[in-house]
């Protein structure tokens, strides 16, 4: 492995990309300590570090929410904007056409996502200022409100730009890596709390070891889920063009068990944050009851979380994988699945197999995300990583390693994964 790392470091372009990504991580962590002016942070810290949805947001943001810094809203408005655009592509033909136009169409859609991110960030910042943190504002007034709202909105816009710069000039998906960095940043504090509980006798070492083995098993299972695929054999017939013979080889269509990656988990988390967040802004018995029922870790919230992950896995896979289009491409190049006629029978077969594969992936993904929540409720232990955080960490790590591998393989170096 050291030889592989040395090989990667010797490639100038790859070394530059890795250093750029690490530099952006430093910028992200520095920004996570720049406070929003005019806020009494002490009044907010306990609430945002609690075992609720805001505590989950605080973990994703690397503690930026509990310290109420300019990155307090994290990248959540961008994720919500992406969800909205994905849904609109299904119902608006013009957006669907743009999505199929390749790089140029995606650039236009990404521009719409940026605009929508700023709008959602401004709305969220306004709601937080006049609702959630109003009591913590030191000098309430028009200028204070404007300063807080624009600071939070600018922080989210800067994070969005930071993520795009990492994607373009660094290694991996920038937005995913920012979330990854935020979760990893919470590890030292969580470990310190765990060691303190062991020291004072609130938690036994055996319990911590058992939790550690449980999370190790989850990591192995997540890797298997991410790497697993169902291979559909495809045979290409021979074609004679002039004096040359083309085709005749056998290959396969890889159908990944977890085609959607960590996207369904992030989407489900973002959707479930809306009702309790809105309920916090209206001081009424009904809204308070809604916030309690849908609080993070509650039975109803966990059930909805499980169901939303399955739904978004099916939805995102349907957007990314079109059996009709795949079957047409195979037919166009003279290929066929043994025992099936090209065209509609092939598309129906692919759809049937894909639905079964997705079911396994969706249920497994939902189980991984919800099991640590149930475990935390049963054992009353403050776990360092949630299932969602673990899925994001492992998924983003594998994705980044694959990108490094692609750079190594292009230059005839051996990769990490064999």
Label residue 232 exposed, middle or buried (CB < 10 Å: 0-12, 13-18, 19+): buried
Same domain for 164 and 117, yes or no, is yes
Please state the rounded mean pLDDT for residues 8-18.
Answer: 83
Same domain for 378 and 321, yes or no, is yes
Q: What is the Cα–Cα distance from 38 to 267, expressed in whole angstroms?
A: 32
Concatenate the DSSP letters of all residues of 329-367 into one string: HHHHTTEE-TTS-TTHHHHHHHHHHHHHHHHHHHHHHHH
Same domain for 152 and 264, yes or no, is no
Most confident of the following: 50-59, 214-223, 381-390: 214-223
Closest CA to 272 of 262, 264, 261, 283: 264
Same domain for 15 and 42, yes or no, is yes
Most confident of the following: 58-62, 260-264, 345-349, 412-416: 345-349
- pLDDT tens-digit profile of 139-177? 888 888 899 899 999 999 999 999 999 988 888 888 888
User: Domain for residue 255, yes or no?
Assistant: yes
- Return all residues near 257 (Cβ < 8 A) that are at least 6 apart: 225, 228, 229, 230, 357, 360, 361, 364
Which tokens hold the place of 392?
């994001």
Which tokens hold the place of 149?
């709202």
pLDDT at 342: 80
Q: Which of 132, 155, 185 is the last residue of a domain?
A: 185
Is there a contact between 231 and 252 (Cβ–Cβ < 8 Å)?
A: yes
Q: What is the Cα–Cα distance from 20 to 338, expressed in whole angstroms?
A: 48
- Least confident piece of the model among 29-33, 141-145, 203-207, 280-284: 280-284
- Under the banding of pLDDT at 50, 70 and 90, the label for residue 4 is low
Same domain for 172 and 272, yes or no, is no
Q: At what angle do helices 344-379 and 387-410 cross, to 10 degrees?
A: 130
Q: How many residues does the chain have?
A: 418
Distance between first and last Cα of the chain:
12
How many folded domains does the chain comprise? 2
Concatenate the DSSP letters of all residues of 138-179 into one string: SS-SHHHHHHHHHHHHHHHHHHHHHHHHHHHHSSS-HHHHHH
Most confident of the following: 69-78, 96-105, 145-154, 386-395: 145-154
Q: What is the Cα–Cα distance from 67 to 58, expressed in whole angstroms?
A: 9
By percentage, how much of the chain surpasses pLDDT 70? 83
User: Domain for residue 199, yes or no?
Assistant: no
Average pLDDT, the chain: 80
User: Domain for residue 171, yes or no?
Assistant: yes
The CATH number for 155's domain is 1.10.3370.10
pLDDT at 82: 84
pLDDT at 115: 93
List 177's β-bridge partners, or say none: none
- Under the banding of pLDDT at 50, 70 and 90, the label for residue 50 is low
Same domain for 236 and 151, yes or no, is no
By percentage, how much of the chain surpasses pLDDT 90? 9
User: Domain for residue 399, yes or no?
Assistant: no
User: Domain for residue 154, yes or no?
Assistant: yes
- Return all residues near 23 (Cβ < 8 A) that are at least 6 apart: none
Chain centre distance of CA 306: 16
pLDDT at 161: 92
Same domain for 251 and 177, yes or no, is no
Same domain for 272 and 226, yes or no, is yes
- Least confident piece of the model among 42-46, 79-83, 97-101, 349-353: 42-46
User: Domain for residue 194, yes or no?
Assistant: no
- What range defines the domain where residue 29 resides? 1-185
Calculate the alpha carbon distances from 12 to 17, 171, 391, 402, 416 in Å: 9, 13, 31, 18, 18
Same domain for 250 and 313, yes or no, is yes
User: Domain for residue 347, yes or no?
Assistant: yes
- Least confident piece of the model among 40-44, 55-59, 119-123: 55-59
Most confident of the following: 56-60, 188-192, 306-310, 405-409: 306-310
Q: What is the Cα–Cα distance from 237 to 255, expressed in whole angstroms?
A: 22
- Under the banding of pLDDT at 50, 70 and 90, the label for residue 48 is low
pLDDT at 263: 78
User: Domain for residue 196, yes or no?
Assistant: no
pLDDT of residue 340 exceeding 70: yes
Same domain for 15 and 106, yes or no, is yes
- Least confident piece of the model among 8-22, 57-71, 81-95: 57-71
pLDDT of residue 132 exceeding 60: yes
Same domain for 180 and 34, yes or no, is yes
Same domain for 130 and 26, yes or no, is yes
- pLDDT tens-digit profile of 183-229? 888 777 777 777 777 778 777 788 778 878 888 888 888 888 888 88
- pLDDT tens-digit profile of 345-367? 888 888 888 888 889 889 988 88
């Amino acid at each position: 492995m050291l030889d592989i790392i040395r090989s990667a470091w010797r490639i100038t372009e790859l070394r530059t990309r890795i250093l750029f990504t690490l530099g952006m991580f430093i910028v992200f962590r520095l920004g996570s300590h720049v406070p929003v002016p005019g806020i009494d942070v002490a009044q907010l810290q306990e609430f945002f570090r609690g075992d609720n949805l805001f505590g989950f947001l605080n973990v994703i943001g690397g503690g930026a929410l509990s310290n109420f810094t300019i990155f307090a809203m994290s990248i959540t408005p961008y994720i919500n904007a992406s969800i909205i655009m994905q849904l609109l592509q299904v119902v608006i033909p013009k957006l669907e056409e743009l999505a199929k136009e390749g790089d140029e169409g995606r650039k236009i859609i990404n521009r719409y996502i940026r605009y929508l991110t700023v709008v959602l960030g401004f709305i969220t910042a306004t709601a937080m200022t006049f609702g959630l943190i109003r009591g913590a504002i030191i000098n309430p007034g028009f200028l204070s409100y404007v300063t807080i709202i624009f600071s939070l909105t600018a922080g989210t816009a800067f994070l969005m730009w930071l993520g795009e710069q990492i994607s373009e000039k660094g290694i991996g998906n920038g937005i995913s890596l920012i979330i990854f960095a935020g979760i990893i940043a919470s590890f030292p504090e969580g470990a310190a709390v765990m060691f303190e509980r062991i020291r004072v006798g609130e938690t036994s070492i055996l319990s911590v070891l058992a939790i550690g083995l449980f999370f190790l098993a989850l990591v192995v299972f997540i890797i298997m889920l991410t790497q697993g695929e169902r291979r559909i054999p495809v045979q290409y017939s021979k074609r004679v063009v002039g004096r040359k013979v083309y085709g005749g080889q056998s290959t396969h269509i890889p159908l990944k068990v977890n085609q959607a990656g960590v996207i369904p988990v992030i989407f489900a988390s973002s959707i479930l944050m809306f009702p309790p967040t809105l309920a916090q802004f209206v001081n009424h018995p009904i809204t308070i009851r809604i916030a309690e029922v849908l609080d993070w870790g509650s039975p109803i919230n966990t059930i909805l979380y499980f169901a939303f992950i399955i739904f978004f896995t099916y939805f995102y896979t349907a957007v990314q994988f079109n059996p009709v289009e795949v079957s047409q491409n195979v037919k166009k190049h003279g290929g066929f699945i043994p025992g099936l006629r090209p065209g509609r029978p092939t598309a129906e077969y692919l759809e049937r197999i894909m639905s079964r594969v997705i079911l396994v992936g969706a249920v497994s993904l939902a189980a991984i995300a919800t099991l640590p929540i149930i475990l935390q409720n049963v054992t009353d232990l403050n776990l360092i990583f949630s299932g969602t955080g673990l899925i994001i960490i492992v998924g983003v790590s594998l994705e980044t390693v694959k990108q490094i591998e692609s750079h190594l393989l292009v230059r005839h170096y051996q990769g990490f994964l064999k």
